[in-house]
Amino acid sequence: MKNLKLLILCIMLLILLITSKQIMAMSSEPQVVEPEEYRVTFKVIPPENTPVDASIYMSGSHNKWPAEKGTLLTKNDDWTYSVTLSRPVGTVMEFKFTRGSWDSVEKGNNGEEIANRVYTFDEGNQVVELKIQRWADIKKSVENVPTISDVQNSTITGNIDVIEDFYMPQLDKKVKISVYLPPDYKRENKRYPVLYMQDGQNLFDNIIADDLEWKVDETLERLYSQQKTEGVIVVGVEHKDDKDNSEYSPWIEKPYIKSANGDKYLDFIVNELKPYIDANYPTLTQRDYTGIAGSDMGGLIALYGGLKYQNIFSKIGALSPALWVADGKIYDFVLGVGKEKEMNIYIYTGGKELGRAQLDKQAVNNANYMADLLQEVGFSPKEIKLTIDNSGIHNESYWSKYFPEALLWLYR
């Protein structure tokens, strides 16, 4: 019995010794200190024309810039929206607001691109108030948008013919076509060169423009009165219901461009629209008198289409073209197609296109590289005009400013 008690005592002492060593080891290990977090509430004031049932999301570096939606904000009784985030001290967050997709991202007051918002978590328990100027997909008014043929409050100058429902079989849809006609278009036996332009809703009438208008009609009326041109017919193709710009892209660029319908769209221009215009208006039908132009994605498809159909077009106007699409496949296309015929190619880019210094610099570099590449494949310096405006931003006010220069150079 004594031996048994002694054995139990020894076991208890051994357990006590092991436990004490474990406690000492744990106390000697470095303690992990969680970084302090700051809690910040972002209160957002949306534009007055935001739909009453809208959901607003914050998309940014905090949720890895998701392709769709982001962090949902809470709608408040005062028609503001808010979200509260906690992040470690010193965290820098970049973000933008959308209504659920990049098609409805926030814009500047004039519809221009804006830089990413930036916030540093350097103080806790803060309420940060932010105001959204405009949405990319909502016009300046929530009222019904009148048609271009409605002259009430219209800014149309001169003669504009409107074809309300022109069928596009390639994409099985109807589009509105607006045709600007020179002041003397009824003059017997006189015929005119033609310029096919994209985003027709933004060319002639501020009342239906997405943001601002190009003032193409005012410009052509003025140039005609100044005897700088003998008249040019401009055909504008409306572009309203193609939310992801698939009609203006030969390539897919997810998440922004989900379909590549650019070739179908150009087939419509060349094989449906141009024959109709030539049959119904006093045009000079030869390629020497036919041009194609546009801005942004419209500038991309104009450049692509003009080079693809060099037998149809001899003039290309690409203002702020979206050369970045699909990792710059337009450059490979230019290398592949090369020069087939003499062309006049006008390229314009602003120095503040995207609102961020590095991206702005890249846009200018892209334009310079395209001009150099066109020469590399055979076009002479006399066929290419590159204009860079260091203060230019990405909207119609600058495209309107440089449209006269582009037109006179293309149709010189």
For residues 161 and 148, what is the distance between their CA atoms, to the nearest angstrom? 9
Q: What percent of the chain has pLDDT over 90?
A: 62
Give me the pLDDT at residue 158, please: 85
Tens digits of residue pLDDT in 120-136: 998 878 899 999 999 98
For the domain with range 159-410, which CATH number is right: 3.90.870.10, 3.40.50.300, 3.40.50.1820, 1.10.3720.10?
Answer: 3.40.50.1820
Tens digits of residue pLDDT in 397-407: 899 999 999 99
Q: Say yes or no to pLDDT of 326 above 90.
A: yes
For 378, phi then psi, to 5°, come to 125, -15
Give me the pLDDT at residue 102, please: 86
Mean pLDDT of the chain: 87
Q: How sure is the predictor about 144, in pLDDT bands with cuts at 50, 70 and 90?
A: very low
Q: Say yes or no to pLDDT of 209 above 90.
A: no
Contact yes or no for 194/235 (Cβ under 8 A): yes
Q: Say yes or no to pLDDT of 146 above 50.
A: no
Q: How sure is the predictor about 22, in pLDDT bands with cuts at 50, 70 and 90?
A: low
Residue 292: how many CB atoms within 10 A of its CB?
A: 31
Give me the pLDDT at residue 34, please: 57
Q: Say yes or no to pLDDT of 17 above 80.
A: no
Q: Say yes or no to pLDDT of 151 above 80.
A: no
Q: What percent of the chain has pLDDT over 70?
A: 87
DSSP-derived secondary structure letter, 142: S
113: which residues sit within 8 A by CB, 6+ positions away?
107, 353, 354, 355, 393, 394
Query: Omega into 46 within 30° of 0, i.e. cis?
Result: no
For residues 238 and 201, what is the distance between their CA atoms, to the nearest angstrom? 5
Residue type, 266: L
Q: Say yes or no to pLDDT of 21 above 60.
A: no
DSSP string, 103-125: GG-EE-TTS---PPEEEE--SSS
User: Tokens 């985030």 identify what position?
Assistant: 85
Q: Is-same-fold flag (37-135; 159-410)? A: no
Taken as a whole, the chain contains a residue count of: 412
Q: How sure is the predictor about 25, in pLDDT bands with cuts at 50, 70 and 90?
A: low
Q: How sure is the predictor about 156, in pLDDT bands with cuts at 50, 70 and 90?
A: confident
Q: How sure is the predictor about 12, in pLDDT bands with cuts at 50, 70 and 90?
A: low
Q: Mean pLDDT throughout 200-221?
A: 85
For 292, phi then psi, to 5°, come to -140, 140
Q: How sure is the predictor about 328, in pLDDT bands with cuts at 50, 70 and 90?
A: very high
For residues 220 and 202, what is the distance between their CA atoms, to the nearest angstrom? 15
Q: Show the tokens assigned to 288.
A: 């020497």
Contact yes or no for 91/79 (Cβ under 8 A): no
For the domain with range 37-135, which CATH number is right: 1.10.540.10, 2.20.28.90, 2.60.40.10, 2.160.10.10?
Answer: 2.60.40.10
Residues 244/353/293/264 CA torsion (nearest 10 deg): -20
Q: Say yes or no to pLDDT of 381 above 50.
A: yes
Contact yes or no for 119/40 (Cβ under 8 A): yes
Q: Say yes or no to pLDDT of 33 above 60.
A: no
The CA-based angle 71-108-73, given to 5 degrees, is 20
Q: Of 69 and 192, which is predicted with more confidence?
A: 192
Q: Show the tokens assigned to 247.
A: 């009609």
Give me the pLDDT at residue 1, please: 57
Q: Return the CA Rg of the chain.
A: 30
DSSP-derived secondary structure letter, 382: G
Give me the pLDDT at residue 74, please: 93
Contact yes or no for 127/43 (Cβ under 8 A): yes
Sign of CA dihedral 160, 164, 168, 169: negative
Residue 165: how many CB atoms within 10 A of its CB?
A: 9
Give me the pLDDT at residue 140, please: 54
pTM above 0.75, yes or no: no
Domain ranges of the chain: 37-135, 159-410
Give me the pLDDT at residue 171, please: 94
Least confident window among 159-163, 355-359, 374-378, 404-408? 355-359
Name the 3-class secondary structure at 261.
Answer: coil
Give me the pLDDT at residue 336, please: 97
Give me the pLDDT at residue 24, please: 55
**Can you say whether residue 159 is alpha, beta or left, with left for phi > 0 and alpha for psi between -120 and 50 degrees?**
beta
Q: Say yes or no to pLDDT of 341 above 60.
A: yes
